[in-house]
Amino acid sequence: MKVNNLTQPPINVALIGCGRIAGRHCRAIASLEGVELAAVCDLDEEKGRAYADEFGVPCFTNYHRMFKDVPEIDAAAVITPSGMHFEHGMEIMELYAKHLIMEKPTFMRPGQLDQAYAAADRLGLNIFPVFQNRYNKAVRRVKQALDSGELGDIRIVSVRVRWCRPQRYYDMAPWRGTFSHDGGALSNQGIHHVDLLRHLGGEVKRVNAVMRTLGADIEVEDTVVATLVYESGAVGNVEVTTAARPDDFEASLSIVGSKGLAQIGGIAVNELQTFTPDAQACAANSEDFVGVKGLGAVYGFGHTEMYRDMIAFFGKGVPYPVDRHDCLGTLKLLHAFYRSDESGDWAEVDSPQQSSRLGSANDGVSKLYRTPPPGPKT
């Protein structure tokens, strides 16, 4: 049993959506002082019940009922289909005045992010985007080297994600493989690597992307190859696919600097494989994500640090490391890749334009995941 030695009361968090990544949230919360799991909710009671029983919290299939029955909830972790994040998040803030912990890709469209943060400001609430790979030891060490000048000026940034998502993966739920509620290899599996392009490399000026669907019968891309130009003048390239077979192979990022080379690899940018300024740093800054296999190996350990940062925000006023402008930058970059493929030309990242496909409305899918307010108890 956790003993809370902090001066402020614990932050009570409810999970909405109990898919694969929910386990990382539950275990992160269970490991920390200053935060407590208050309830879980999923339309599929069996999924929710598994976590409820394991962590000793109530289970709901209707989050309206959950907020009414457990009023002490402070924040909701929204882990529903990506295309429902905006609708669910806005409803949770407007009706119940709860803070939001938003799983990737936070929201599907930059315009949705603007609206959500405007609502949060008006209601005195906070939104905490989840980009857990920023916390990986290898990523942090390379970030430190870039900030200190240890690697010099960036010349080339390269991303390569070679993962496997067969047809059965997309057939698991009607939202998967749709532009409205999922997006393809880049916006679902590759979103963290899109984020790291900015987090490590700086702001991107323009991109040129080609998207294809090669390994599954879905409407979205499962393969993308792209070139990009940074505002600094550096260049980059991106290869992301879920059409690799028969398994996940790698998720790597490399940076060629004027003073050296850094390459982060492994299954989910968890291994510092090459670091020419200090080769001895590689072992100390690598993590074994295979050790969490069965609990979502590609998710790593970053959720614990994310919740630690949220506790520090509420308890000590320490700014949460991903603010709205940072998150908006990643969403605008994501949409630039799709806009480039749609136009067949370069796309400027700093543009008010949004993809015509990614996050488009699909009420037929949305209604499958809406939660109507319950009637009175009888």
SS (H, E, C) 13-27: EEEECCCCCHHHHHH
**pLDDT tens digit sequence for 34-86:** 999 999 999 999 999 999 999 999 999 999 999 999 999 999 999 999 999 99
Give the separation between CA 359 and CA 356, rounded to whole angstroms.
8
Q: What are phi and psi of 158, to 5 degrees?
A: -130, 135
* Banded model confidence at residue 290, pLDDT cuts 50, 70, 90: low
**Measured CA angle at 85 (ends 114, 69), to 5 deg:** 115
Q: pTM of the predicted model, to two decimals?
A: 0.94
- pLDDT at site 1: 38
**pLDDT tens digit sequence for 113-155:** 999 999 999 999 999 999 999 999 999 999 999 999 999 999 9
Give all strands of the β-sheet with 75-78 in edge-to-edge order: 59-60, 35-41, 11-16, 75-78, 99-102, 127-129
- Ordered domains of the chain (ranges, CATH): 11-132 (3.40.50.720), 134-348 (3.30.360.10)
Distances 151 to 203, 204, 255, 284, 367 between C-alpha atoms, Å = 18, 19, 9, 18, 50
- pLDDT at site 378: 40
